[in-house]
Amino acid sequence: MASERRQQQVARRIQQKVSELLLHDIRDPRASFVTVTNVTISRDLVKAKVYWSVLEERHKSKVSHMFEHAKGFIRREVAREINIRSAPLLEFFYDEGLVAADRIEQVLREVLPPEERTIGELPAQRDCAASELPPVKLSDSDSAENADDGAESRSPWPVRKDELDD
Protein backbone atom coordinates (compact mmCIF):
# COMPACT_ATOMS: atom_id res chain seq x y z
CA MET A 1 0.00 0.00 0.00
CA ALA A 2 1.25 3.43 -0.93
CA SER A 3 1.34 6.30 1.52
CA GLU A 4 -1.05 9.19 1.07
CA ARG A 5 1.82 11.39 -0.06
CA ARG A 6 2.81 8.84 -2.73
CA GLN A 7 -0.82 8.58 -3.89
CA GLN A 8 -0.97 12.35 -4.30
CA GLN A 9 2.31 12.42 -6.21
CA VAL A 10 1.22 9.70 -8.62
CA ALA A 11 -2.22 11.28 -9.07
CA ARG A 12 -0.66 14.68 -9.80
CA ARG A 13 1.71 13.14 -12.37
CA ILE A 14 -1.18 11.30 -14.03
CA GLN A 15 -3.19 14.53 -14.19
CA GLN A 16 -0.27 16.40 -15.73
CA LYS A 17 0.39 13.68 -18.29
CA VAL A 18 -3.25 13.27 -19.34
CA SER A 19 -3.57 17.06 -19.68
CA GLU A 20 -0.42 17.15 -21.77
CA LEU A 21 -1.68 14.32 -23.98
CA LEU A 22 -4.98 16.13 -24.55
CA LEU A 23 -3.14 19.28 -25.47
CA HIS A 24 -0.40 17.91 -27.72
CA ASP A 25 -0.72 14.25 -28.66
CA ILE A 26 -4.36 13.32 -29.09
CA ARG A 27 -5.33 14.55 -32.53
CA ASP A 28 -9.05 14.32 -31.98
CA PRO A 29 -11.19 17.46 -32.33
CA ARG A 30 -13.29 16.21 -29.41
CA ALA A 31 -10.26 16.67 -27.13
CA SER A 32 -10.25 20.43 -27.55
CA PHE A 33 -11.61 22.47 -24.64
CA VAL A 34 -11.35 19.50 -22.25
CA THR A 35 -9.85 20.08 -18.81
CA VAL A 36 -8.66 17.38 -16.43
CA THR A 37 -9.99 18.67 -13.11
CA ASN A 38 -8.84 15.97 -10.70
CA VAL A 39 -7.31 12.50 -10.43
CA THR A 40 -7.78 10.12 -7.52
CA ILE A 41 -5.92 6.85 -7.21
CA SER A 42 -6.49 3.79 -5.07
CA ARG A 43 -4.15 3.02 -2.16
CA ASP A 44 -2.60 0.13 -4.08
CA LEU A 45 -2.05 2.36 -7.17
CA VAL A 46 -4.02 -0.04 -9.37
CA LYS A 47 -7.03 2.13 -10.32
CA ALA A 48 -7.10 5.83 -11.10
CA LYS A 49 -10.21 7.94 -11.58
CA VAL A 50 -9.68 10.85 -13.94
CA TYR A 51 -12.26 13.63 -13.64
CA TRP A 52 -12.71 15.97 -16.57
CA SER A 53 -14.88 18.85 -17.69
CA VAL A 54 -15.64 20.38 -21.05
CA LEU A 55 -16.32 23.97 -21.99
CA GLU A 56 -19.76 23.22 -23.44
CA GLU A 57 -21.83 20.59 -21.65
CA ARG A 58 -23.51 19.54 -24.89
CA HIS A 59 -20.20 17.92 -25.98
CA LYS A 60 -20.09 15.72 -22.87
CA SER A 61 -21.13 12.48 -24.59
CA LYS A 62 -18.72 13.00 -27.50
CA VAL A 63 -15.80 13.61 -25.16
CA SER A 64 -16.78 10.61 -23.04
CA HIS A 65 -16.72 8.45 -26.17
CA MET A 66 -13.32 9.89 -27.12
CA PHE A 67 -11.90 8.94 -23.71
CA GLU A 68 -13.22 5.40 -24.05
CA HIS A 69 -11.64 5.13 -27.50
CA ALA A 70 -8.25 6.57 -26.40
CA LYS A 71 -8.09 4.83 -23.00
CA GLY A 72 -5.40 2.34 -24.07
CA PHE A 73 -3.20 4.98 -25.66
CA ILE A 74 -3.50 7.26 -22.62
CA ARG A 75 -2.70 4.40 -20.22
CA ARG A 76 0.38 3.42 -22.23
CA GLU A 77 1.68 6.99 -22.28
CA VAL A 78 0.99 7.44 -18.56
CA ALA A 79 2.92 4.20 -17.89
CA ARG A 80 5.93 5.63 -19.70
CA GLU A 81 5.76 8.81 -17.65
CA ILE A 82 5.39 7.42 -14.13
CA ASN A 83 7.74 4.78 -12.77
CA ILE A 84 5.60 2.19 -11.01
CA ARG A 85 5.34 -1.57 -11.51
CA SER A 86 2.15 -1.54 -13.49
CA ALA A 87 0.23 1.28 -15.04
CA PRO A 88 -3.01 1.99 -13.21
CA LEU A 89 -6.31 1.26 -14.92
CA LEU A 90 -7.78 4.59 -15.92
CA GLU A 91 -11.46 5.37 -15.53
CA PHE A 92 -12.77 8.64 -16.90
CA PHE A 93 -15.63 10.51 -15.23
CA TYR A 94 -17.34 13.76 -16.08
CA ASP A 95 -16.86 16.20 -13.19
CA GLU A 96 -20.36 17.01 -11.96
CA GLY A 97 -19.01 19.46 -9.37
CA LEU A 98 -18.77 22.30 -11.87
CA VAL A 99 -22.35 21.74 -13.02
CA ALA A 100 -23.54 21.77 -9.41
CA ALA A 101 -21.64 25.01 -8.75
CA ASP A 102 -23.30 26.61 -11.78
CA ARG A 103 -26.72 25.51 -10.52
CA ILE A 104 -26.07 26.99 -7.09
CA GLU A 105 -24.92 30.25 -8.63
CA GLN A 106 -28.04 30.39 -10.81
CA VAL A 107 -30.31 29.79 -7.81
CA LEU A 108 -28.52 32.51 -5.85
CA ARG A 109 -28.99 34.94 -8.72
CA GLU A 110 -32.71 34.25 -8.69
CA VAL A 111 -33.05 34.50 -4.90
CA LEU A 112 -30.79 37.44 -4.01
CA PRO A 113 -31.91 40.98 -4.75
CA PRO A 114 -29.82 42.82 -7.38
CA GLU A 115 -27.99 45.03 -4.86
CA GLU A 116 -26.59 41.97 -3.04
CA ARG A 117 -25.26 40.26 -6.17
CA THR A 118 -21.88 41.97 -6.12
CA ILE A 119 -19.01 39.51 -6.33
CA GLY A 120 -16.38 39.37 -3.61
CA GLU A 121 -18.28 41.39 -1.03
CA LEU A 122 -20.62 40.02 1.56
CA PRO A 123 -23.38 42.17 3.06
CA ALA A 124 -21.69 42.02 6.49
CA GLN A 125 -18.48 43.40 4.98
CA ARG A 126 -20.26 46.50 3.69
CA ASP A 127 -21.61 47.32 7.15
CA CYS A 128 -18.19 47.32 8.87
CA ALA A 129 -15.45 49.52 7.44
CA ALA A 130 -11.80 48.86 8.27
CA SER A 131 -11.56 52.17 10.13
CA GLU A 132 -14.27 51.01 12.53
CA LEU A 133 -12.25 48.02 13.70
CA PRO A 134 -10.83 48.39 17.21
CA PRO A 135 -7.06 48.97 17.32
CA VAL A 136 -4.86 46.15 18.54
CA LYS A 137 -3.23 47.10 21.83
CA LEU A 138 -0.17 45.45 23.29
CA SER A 139 -0.28 44.46 26.94
CA ASP A 140 1.77 46.56 29.35
CA SER A 141 4.47 43.88 29.60
CA ASP A 142 4.76 43.69 25.80
CA SER A 143 4.98 47.44 25.38
CA ALA A 144 7.74 47.67 28.02
CA GLU A 145 9.74 44.99 26.24
CA ASN A 146 9.28 46.57 22.83
CA ALA A 147 9.94 50.16 23.90
CA ASP A 148 12.85 51.72 22.03
CA ASP A 149 14.99 53.29 24.76
CA GLY A 150 18.28 53.05 22.91
CA ALA A 151 19.03 49.55 24.19
CA GLU A 152 19.78 46.65 21.88
CA SER A 153 16.73 45.01 20.41
CA ARG A 154 15.79 41.76 22.04
CA SER A 155 15.74 38.50 20.15
CA PRO A 156 12.55 36.48 20.22
CA TRP A 157 14.71 33.37 20.71
CA PRO A 158 15.81 32.12 24.13
CA VAL A 159 19.31 33.04 25.18
CA ARG A 160 21.59 30.79 27.21
CA LYS A 161 23.16 32.21 30.38
CA ASP A 162 26.71 31.75 29.04
CA GLU A 163 25.81 33.93 26.01
CA LEU A 164 24.77 36.82 28.26
CA ASP A 165 28.28 37.19 29.70
CA ASP A 166 29.84 37.94 26.29
Which of the four pLDDT bands, split at 50, 70 and 90, describes residue 157? Answer: low
Average pLDDT of the residues in 85-92: 92
Grade residue 158 by pLDDT with cuts at 50, 70 and 90: low
Closest CA to 93 of 40, 56, 20, 30: 40
Instruction: Determine the Cα–Cα distance for residues 84 and 81; give it in Å rounded to an integer.
Output: 9
Q: Cβ(49)–Cβ(39) under 8 Å? A: yes
CATH 3.30.750.24 matches 4-95: no
- More reliable by pLDDT, 106 or 39: 39
pLDDT interval class at 165 (50, 70, 90): low
What pLDDT, on the 0 to 100 scale, is given for residue 143?
47
pLDDT in tens, 47-82: 999 999 998 888 999 999 999 999 999 999 999 988
Q: Tell me: the pLDDT tens digits for 96-144?
A: 887 788 888 888 888 877 666 555 555 555 454 545 555 555 545 544 4
Across 25-31, average pLDDT: 88
Domain extent listing, the chain: 4-95
